[in-house]
Amino acid sequence: MGGVAWGTSTTSMLSQRTKYVFVTGGVVSSIGKGLAAASIGALMEARGLRVTHIKLDPYINVDPGTMSPYQHGEVYVTDDGAETDLDLGHYERFTSARLTRANNFTTGRIYDAVISKERRGEYLGATVQVIPHITDEIKARVREVSAGVDVAIVEIGGTVGDIESLPFLEAVRQMRIELGHQNTVSVHVTLVPWIAAAGELKTKPTQHSVKELLGLGIQPEILICRVDRELSLDLKRKIGHFTNVGMDAVIAAKDVSCIYELPIWLHKEGLDQQLVERLNIWSRQPDLSPWKRTVEKMLDPTKEAVSIALVGKYVHLRDAYKSLHESIVHGGLANDVNVIVHYVDSEELQREPDTAKLLGSYDAILVPGGFGDRGLEGKIKAIRYAREHNVPFFGICLGMQMAVVEFARHVCHLEGANTVEADPQAKYPLIHLMPGQRGIQDKGATMRLGAYPCDLAEGSLAARVYGAAAISERHRHRFEVNNEYRDVLERSGLKLSGLSPDQLLVEMIELPNHPYFIGCQFHPEFKSKPHAPHPLFTHFIRAAHEFQRIRPPVKEEARRAELN
């Protein structure tokens, strides 16, 4: 007679039913582990399975919230207010999984938890060590967040061989023994580089990477090999021979035309079939039709194109705007147009006396979020140009705040209007610290973070875009519109179209007499997906397409130069 053993919790029972895919990477960083892990989730979901994703980051920071975008790229925010690695954005865009702070943890967070337990005496006087205390904490968290799903895809950040990753890899080794090899599979993402001087692909980096992993007690069953061209059967056979991996499990991840083609390519290579067989999972054949439709739309050469100027200060590192870029692409998919995003350096714009020289050939202007005072005046110039020339405009977080400052200066005639983030002594502090942020000393995880409700004004552009009167969006900010200036802004024609339910926080603004001018304090890019584009991006790209048809003529050679 079956039943639950005494002392076995429900969580433990659910965890035992979960299958685990552990994704590691070797040779070089930025090899594409995150997209590979996201694609695995997409393939498992396409087979009707419930999935979740977990990212284990080896750095000592508790979270990436205090790290520079130049170091870490975008900080992705979950509904529950966690500041996480940008790979969680890939996971949520590629699957229906709704992730939380439990789905991303760092070495810093693990050590912080273990030290706190030691201080409380929870280890009963034991000497606290990496093994078993740190590895037990890692395993417990992975099992907890995996409860109730069919497949958990666990990505270990960094590169095999990094000293920081060792506790995570040791925890993976232990879990594979404890759960059994029918319940776990190791997927290793590696590089097979083309050496131009030799005129051939080289497998030695992959061999050494797997050898490093073997030295840690982990034998990968599946290899995903990043290549920029076809990987021949002979090379697959060679790689398999030297790494103890079956030739069928050597998966070529050839560079694709767009990232949403990756699940389709990996399916053709047999990745999902390898996974379900090794994990002993019964499932249907995958339905990849949504991915195929998305890719066909993106690669359709007959589509018209619109050009968007993204005016920011991290333009030399596109990962800083990863979710934003993808959301703009999603807006293009919804309108059957290609979108060419041109990154305009706000500092360069600040120095350029002729704004039209840098912005005159674009169909719309977007000013994203950010922190600090660098490049702010350039963003204000871009917003003024969009307002005065009827160019579709979309401001996000800091972009909305600067739209308020620009309006106050040049329409309300409040000379000296600014945000106190840039000028603490501003004559007219249109943007100031939220009351709850005053006096805070710690910078990590102390902003207004996560999903908050917003009420939209009846008849507003925002309400038409959403098709709703109340919404919920994710936030990441410390500053807000100063309520003392709301009356003068509204009397001068700025519509405060979205407010918090208590009416104390301005969440959205718009200009009723402008073809399309809208700003939001939150980050809608965190909720957009290729198969379900966010309405704010859908309508922004639609407005850009409409403006393109009626805009004043632009010299063709200048336009072509900008688009290229």
Residue written as tokens 């000296």?
416
Give the dihedral sign, CA 194/198/203/204.
Answer: negative
The structure tokens listed for 5 are 């053993």
Longest Cα–Cα distance of the chain, Å, equals: 82
CB 400 within 8 A of CB 521: yes
Q: The dihedral of CA 129, 131, 132, 133: what is its sign?
A: positive
**The one catalytic residue among 397, 412, 454, 520:** 397
225 is annotated as an active-site residue? no
Among candidate residues 212, 507, 525, 562, the one labeled active-site is 525
Sign of the Cα torsion 420, 425, 426, 428 reads positive
DSSP class of residue 368 equals -
> How many helices, marked H, and strands, marked E, lie in the chain?
21, 23
Q: Is 397 a catalytic residue?
A: yes
List of residues 6+ apart from 538 with CB closer than 8 A: 330, 331, 334, 335
- Across the beta sheet with 184-191, what order do the strands follow? 104-106, 51-57, 151-156, 19-25, 184-191, 222-227, 250-254
Distance CA 26, CA 343 (A): 31
| Residue 507 · residue 404 · CB < 8 Å | no
Q: How far is CA 335 from the centre of its chain?
A: 22
Is 389 part of the annotated catalytic residue set? Answer: no
Catalytic position from the list 90, 523, 539, 545: 523
> Which string of b and e fits 394-425 if b means at least 16 CB within 10 Å?
bbbbbbbbbbbbbbbbbbbebeebbbebeeee
Classify the phi-psi angles of 337: left when phi > 0, otherwise alpha if psi is within -120 to 50, otherwise beta. Answer: beta
If you write DSSP's letter for every residue of 61-91 in order, what string do you get?
SSSGGGS-HHHH-PPEE-TT--EE-THHHHH
Type of residue found at 51: V
- The catalytic residues are 397, 523, 525
